[in-house]
Amino acid sequence: MAPRLMAVHAHPDDESSKGAATLAHYASHGVEVTVVTCTGGERGEVLNPQLDIPEVRSRLPALRRSEMAEAAAILGVGHRFLGFTDSGLPAEGAPLPEGCFAREEPSVAAERLVAVIRELRPHVVVTYDESGGYPHPDHVMTHRVAVEAFEAAGDSAAYPEAGPPWQPLKLYYLVAFSRMWFETLHRGMLAAGVPSAMGPVLDEWPEWAPDLAPTTRIPCADHFDTRDRAFRAHATQASPDNPFFAHPRELERRLWPTEDYVLARSRVTARLPETDLFAGITE
């Protein structure tokens, strides 16, 4: 039976900008990979100026779904929407919208995810750390829900209506916003005589950025092109001048050929550091 991997994200496009090459890597090696997206991204902005027009904005919920389907096909993964409504990114101090994901009771959202985990029976679950990877309320909520679901899915007394218990064996947090990654690519571009826009990012490094020390590095440079195509499939989010595309890919493959994770929970013996999310797991 094939090993199974589940990545739990907040919005359509998160799966393609955070850990996408890992998903494509495992899918290409016969792993059953599923992305679970907690919300539909309905309140996301149109970040591609070429598409920021009334017709597109009026159809944004449907477009985000079709973009997600295309990205999943490119990555070679299955996909599920969990069915909650995007919270948007309110101004500081402003209330969250009624009925949005971040205002749900965590147990309500966790029960839906538990049902998906028990149905698909992943061995490994990947999601965000406590910070959410960045301070969007849906990302923070996704962390809370994914951790609760990981812990509860194997407990027959928890959420009994969500199906027969299944315990995933490992839970990982994405190291998706790494100062060391930015510094390494910035220095590499300057050394190669390539203009770098990462200097200002480093000069104004945000206080909220998590400082995670990776335990697990997945070599997946062969799938950076697939990652990029998946992100471009989210056309309303992927502006042609998006910083995601600013550095030479050959330089990235040479300087940082991995995507990185922190092992947060393990039901099997783990020998760190790792180069495989399934290390220590046997069927």
* Residue 11 known to bind ligand: yes
What integer is the mean pLDDT of 232-236? 96
Q: What residues contact residue 119 under an 8 Å CB cut-off, 6+ apart?
A: 163
The two tokens of residue 95 are 């209330």
pLDDT on residue 135: 87
136 marked as binding residue: no
- Count CA atoms within 13 Å of residue 91 on its CB side: 1
The Cα–Cα gap between 263 and 41 comes to 28
Residue 130 to residue 137: CA distance in whole angstroms: 11
Task: Using alpha carbons, select from 195, 278, 262 the residue that is nearest to residue 3.
Answer: 278
How much of the chain exceeds pLDDT 70, in percent? 99
What mean pLDDT comes out for the span 264-270?
Answer: 96
pLDDT band at 134 (very low <50, low <70, confident <90, very high): confident
Average pLDDT value over all residues in the chain: 95
Note the pLDDT tens digit of each residue in 87-121: 998 877 889 999 999 999 999 999 999 999 999 99
With cut-offs at 50, 70 and 90, classify the pLDDT of residue 283.
low
Class of domain 4-176+213-266: alpha beta
Contacts of residue 160, defined as CB under 8 A and 6 or more positions apart, other chains included, come to none
Position 124 pLDDT exceeds 80: yes
Per-residue pLDDT for 51 more than 80?
yes
Residue 252 confidence (pLDDT) above 60 = yes
What are the pLDDT digits (tens) for 81-95?
999 999 998 877 889
Amino acid, res. 180? M
Q: Which range (5-14, 66-75, 87-96) has the least confidence?
A: 87-96
Does the model's pTM come out above 0.85? yes
Q: What is the pLDDT of residue 26?
A: 98
What percent of the chain has pLDDT above 90? Answer: 82
Phi/psi at 218 (nearest 5 deg)?
-100, 115
Tokens of 281: 């797991």
CB 43 within 8 A of CB 96: no
Distance, in Å, from the CA atom of 121 to the CA atom of 114, rounded to the nearest integer, reads: 10
CA-wise closest residue to 76 among 5, 134, 145, 138 = 5
Total residues belonging to the chain: 283
Query: Is 9 annotated for ligand binding?
Result: no
24 and 226 Cβ atoms separated by less than 8 Å: yes
